[in-house]
Structure 1
Amino acid sequence: MKRHQKWWIGGLLIIAVGWGVFGFRSSMSHPEEKKIVALGDSLTFGVGDESGHGYVENLQQWLDRHYEGDTTVDNHAIPGQQSDGLLNQMKEASVFKSVENADYILLYIGMNDILKSNGGDLAPLNERQLSKGKKDYENNLKQILDRIREKNPTAPVLFLGLFNPYPDKPEIGGVITSWNHLSESMVQNYDDVTFIETNDLFEEKSTRYFSDAVHLNEKGYEKLTKRIIEAYHF
């Protein structure tokens, strides 16, 4: 009787070890999938890139080439979106769920806030209205980051700073720099949120990098993607 018990116990051990090895090999042969969630406006949407990629899909393809496992993207960007629109968008269940399951979160927002607060364009500059718009932007951005961290406390957030689409106009550059200083100081209050400088990438206006007055083309988005990869060590 005892001999049978020993064989029975031994058989269970062999099965358990076998399943353990099988499970280990399965996990090794099927690396974990990574998910990028992108939030923002037309730049994150990829407007102007004839390849249809933009910096978000460029980054996805780079991760697929350099790391095991697939990378998926949920791009919730909306062309023309402002910070108040993004704040409202984050109340949507699908967006909230997407953020909750994200491994990386990309965020670019603010240029449309500047445009709207200045009356829809950037000439001439209205300092009083821009100051008010900046305060609204600050309030919205804080709530956006709070909600991201409420739903996902650990996923790295890559916050892209604004760039001046009119580098030959230093007065506009001054506004961009001021708003970037604000957002850069704000993200420091949150764990694992990285501010990525972009304003130095396009110091000259050229069809080499721009598809129109404000949007990048394929080469412009490639340059932006390279900056993200250099700034954050995946």
Structure 2
Amino acid sequence: MRNLAAGLLAAMALAGAAAAEMRVVALGDSLTHGYGLPPADGFVPQLEAWLRRNGAEDVTVVNAGVSGDTTAGGLARLEWSLGDGADALIVELGGNDLLRGIDPAASRANLEAILRKAGARGLPVLLSGLEAPGNYGPDYKRAFDAMYPELAEEYGALLDPSFLEGVQDDRSLWQSDGIHPNAEGVTVIVERIGPLVLELVEQAREDG
């Protein structure tokens, strides 16, 4: 009987530990996916390791990054990416919209739909933005740059104003393609964004 009781207690403890695990889905493009890098050097593995070194040992970060994806693509696969067990969402999208010159109004509508769907699930969101170059003209840049802070405020999301902050002006932190950060660049991004993700995790705990 003692062995049976001990086994039941161990099973309950394991179940409780599993229930306490946090699942953060990172929905993004090649910057999230880790294009051109060994798996361990990508954004998601580095972020998860950073979180665990900084007190969030129970957090798993799910890589829902797809190279080449636009905001429309992210929206189309959102429900599948979240599945049934997501506790929080990181959104890093818009770079491929920029590369294709997509109307910022369309990008904004897609991001807004993502935030609305996440809100319907009760998921806290960290929205990570980008800054548009000036080659599309000042009106395009103004509209693109404004959509991230405005949507974050409207939907109560945490805001990371620029995913590439800290690396965009240091070419030693880029891969040879000039588009994607190298492993050292990803480390810089993770060190900067990590505290925001910890805040996101804390929101998820409070909501849970």
Q: In structure 1, the residue corresponding to 2:62 is in which secondary structure? A: strand
Structure 1 residue 59: deviation in Å? 1.5
Structure 2: how far apart are the matches of 1:112 and 1:60?
A: 25
2:13 to 23, 26, 36: 26
Distance in 1 (CA, whole Å) between partners of 2:37 and 2:141 is 23
Query: Aligned to 2:109, which of 124, 139, 158?
Result: 139
Structure 1's consecutive aligned runs of 4 or more residues displaced over 4 angstroms after TM superposition are 169-178
Task: Tell me: CA distance 1:68–1:143, structure 2 relative to 1, closer, same or farther (3 Å).
Answer: closer
Instruction: Specify the code of the residue in structure 1 equivalent to 2:93.
Output: I
Residue of 41, 46, 49 corresponding to 2:34: 46
CA distance in 2, matches of 1:103, 1:84: 22
In the other structure, the counterpart of 1:181 is 146
Aligned to 1:115: 99
- Give unmatched runs, 5+ long, in structure 2: 200-208
TM-score for both structures, normalised by structure 1: 0.68
Q: What are the superposed Cα offsets for residues 162-210 of structure 1, whole Å, 9 maximum, x if unpaired?
A: 156xxxx76579666652321111111113x11112354235241x210
Name which of structure 1's ranges 32-41 and 67-76 shifts more when overlaid on structure 2: 67-76
| Residue 95 of structure 1, aligned match among 62, 66, 81 | 81
CA displacement at 1:51 relative to structure 2: 5.3
Identify unmatched segments of 5+ residues in structure 1: 1-17, 118-129
Question: Whole-Å Cα distance in 2 between the matches of residues 139 and 213 of structure 1?
Answer: 29
In 2, Cα distance between equivalents of 1:138 and 1:65:
35
- Offset at residue 108 of structure 1 (A): 0.5
**Equivalent residue, structure 2, for 1:213:** 178
- CA shift for structure 1 position 28: 11
1:102-138: CA deviation from partner (whole Å, max 9, x where unpaired):
2231111001111112xxxxxxxxxxxx6xx111111
- Is the 2:50–2:190 contact (alpha carbons within 8 Å) kept by the matching residues of 1? no
State the Cα distance separating 1:221 from its structure 2 match. 0.5
Question: What are the residue-to-residue correspondences of 1:141-220 with 2, within 5 Å?
Answer: 141-150=111-120, 152-153=121-122, 155-163=123-131, 171=135, 178-191=143-156, 193-198=157-162, 200-206=165-171, 208-211=172-175, 212-220=177-185
2: CA distance, partners of 1:75 / 1:181: 27
Q: Structure 1's 28 and 148: CA in aligned 2 closer, same or farther, altered over 3 A? A: closer
2:96 counterpart of 1:72:
no
Is 1:84 aligned to residue 84 of structure 2? Answer: no
CA contact (8 A) 2:131 2:144 kept: no
Query: Structure 1 residue 101: deviation in Å?
Result: 2.1
Contact between 2:128 and 2:148, CA under 8 Å: does it hold in 1? no
1:63 Cα deviation after fit: 2.0
